[in-house]
């Protein structure tokens, strides 16, 4: 039945005859009405009258995706979370928005307490992608798998230190560290902070114990952790057996495309979240940059420390989505892994992450892999 409101609602947009991913991530054709910051109606093609909206966009040949949510991104366009400046976070937020990321966790590096206290303050109000809080990546990590972290700043988990910080939504911990299992239990029971396991040499049994204490996922699957071996299954097998989730950097550099497909087959789209793990060189040319106090050399878009360790990515989550698809993952699954799955892992599924009536109007309008428009809370970005 056609929707027939008395007149157009204020700040309303009608997307007509658009191909979109429905709440179950199946491609459908229909009309979608945005009113204010919400999706207010979804119906069959031509079922919503033109009088319902102030603006009409014809969607033939275009596709509509839910806005992307990046659980793990350090920075872009010359700025980094560790800079701890409103100006820097605004630049990151705007860059992410025009590239399809509508919400993110500003992700830290390992550092001293004073620096981290300065970082973990009230996230500023920004005009682009919403900052949902912070992902505290370190310092409670294993120096044997430091990766691009400065090993001088790595230390055992300390709940009293963590309580000095604010607005943390997610934390990466190495579960084999002294006191880590109790630390994970306390975080899960007392704070609501989501725990992810990474930068670790944990074996299978330690991984199982950590997931039993409440850990939710693995941080950047395959990277900075032991491999999955037939006689030494390690923490990856523990995550699979525990029903835990995993982050995955599908930039084509961190993980071979074949192993991207393997991850999808092992975890499924409901338990695998695509992340960018982007650093401040993202959106800029090759050159020399800083990451957590260490010098990073970017050559042909690949970021490495002087010793050769990979030091984050220089791609957007939208690019990761399409590279995952190029690796053989169905486009609708790749889209879910960059939107609904991270929303679920953060406890944000009732607010964002899907194209569903009542959720935020955080959306991407695309022509193939080219973004034509992004809306955040119903407001056009481009």
Instruction: Compute CA distances 204 → 108, 122, 214, 241, 266, whole Å.
Output: 27, 37, 16, 10, 16
Beta bridge partners of 55: 13
d(C-alpha 213, C-alpha 208), whole Å: 9
Q: What is the DSSP annotation of 204-216?
A: HHHHHHHHHTT--
Pick the catalytic residue from 70, 83, 150, 277: 277
Check residue 125 and report its DSSP letter. Answer: P
Is 165 within 8 Å of 155 (Cβ atoms)?
A: no
Which two structure tokens, joined as six digits, stand for 212? 């039993």
For residues 174 and 191, give the distance between their C-alpha atoms in angstroms, rounded to a whole number: 18
- How far is residue 336's CA from residue 25's CA, in Å, rounded to a whole number? 7
Asked if residue 48 lies in contact with residue 254, where contact means CB atoms within 8 angstroms, the answer is no
Q: Residue 129 in contact with residue 292, Cβ under 8 Å?
A: no
How many other CB atoms sit within 10 Å of the CB of residue 94? 17
Burial class of 84 by CB neighbour count within 10 A (0 to 12, 13 to 18, 19+)? middle
SS3 content of the chain, % helix, strand, coil (to 5): 25, 30, 45
277 is catalytic: yes
Active site residues: 277
């Amino acid at each position: 039945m056609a929707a027939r409101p008395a007149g157009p609602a204020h700040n309303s947009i009608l997307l007509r005859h658009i191909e979109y991913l429905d709440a179950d991530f199946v491609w459908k054709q229909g009309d979608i009405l945005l009113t204010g910051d919400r999706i207010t109606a979804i119906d069959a093609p031509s079922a919503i009258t033109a009088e319902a909206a102030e603006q009409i966009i014809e969607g033939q040949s275009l596709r509509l995706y839910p806005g992307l949510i990046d659980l793990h991104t350090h920075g872009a366009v010359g700025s980094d979370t560790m800079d701890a400046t409103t100006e820097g976070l605004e630049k990151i937020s705007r860059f992410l928005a025009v590239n399809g990321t509508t919400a993110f966790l500003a992700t830290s590096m390992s550092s001293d307490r004073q620096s981290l206290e300065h970082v973990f303050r009230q996230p500023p109000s920004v005009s682009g992608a919403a900052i949902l809080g912070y992902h505290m990546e370190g310092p409670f990590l294993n120096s044997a798998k430091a990766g691009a972290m400065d090993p001088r700043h790595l230390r055992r988990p300390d709940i009293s230190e963590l309580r000095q910080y604010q607005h943390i939504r997610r934390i990466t911990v190495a579960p084999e560290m002294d006191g880590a299992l109790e630390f994970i239990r306390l975080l899960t029971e007392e704070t609501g902070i989501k725990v992810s396991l990474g930068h670790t040499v944990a074996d299978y049994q330690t991984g199982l114990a950590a997931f039993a204490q409440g850990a939710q996922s693995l941080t950047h699957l395959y990277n900075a952790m032991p491999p999955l071996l037939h006689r030494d299954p390690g923490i990856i097998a523990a995550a699979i057996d525990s029903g835990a989730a995993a982050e995955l950097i599908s930039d084509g550099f961190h993980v071979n495309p074949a192993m991207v497909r393997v991850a999808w087959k092992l975890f499924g789209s409901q338990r695998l979240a695509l992340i960018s793990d982007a650093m401040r060189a993202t959106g800029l040319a090759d050159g020399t940059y800083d990451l957590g106090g260490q010098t990073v050399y970017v050559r042909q878009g690949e970021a490495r420390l002087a010793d050769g360790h990979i030091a984050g990515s220089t791609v957007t989550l939208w690019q990761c989505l399409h590279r995952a698809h190029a690796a053989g993952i169905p486009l609708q699954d790749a889209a879910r892994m960059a939107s609904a799955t991270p929303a679920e892992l953060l406890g944000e599924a009732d607010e964002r992450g899907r194209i569903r009536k009542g959720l935020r109007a955080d959306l991407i309008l695309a022509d193939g892999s080219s973004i034509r428009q992004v809306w955040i809370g119903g407001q056009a970005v481009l």
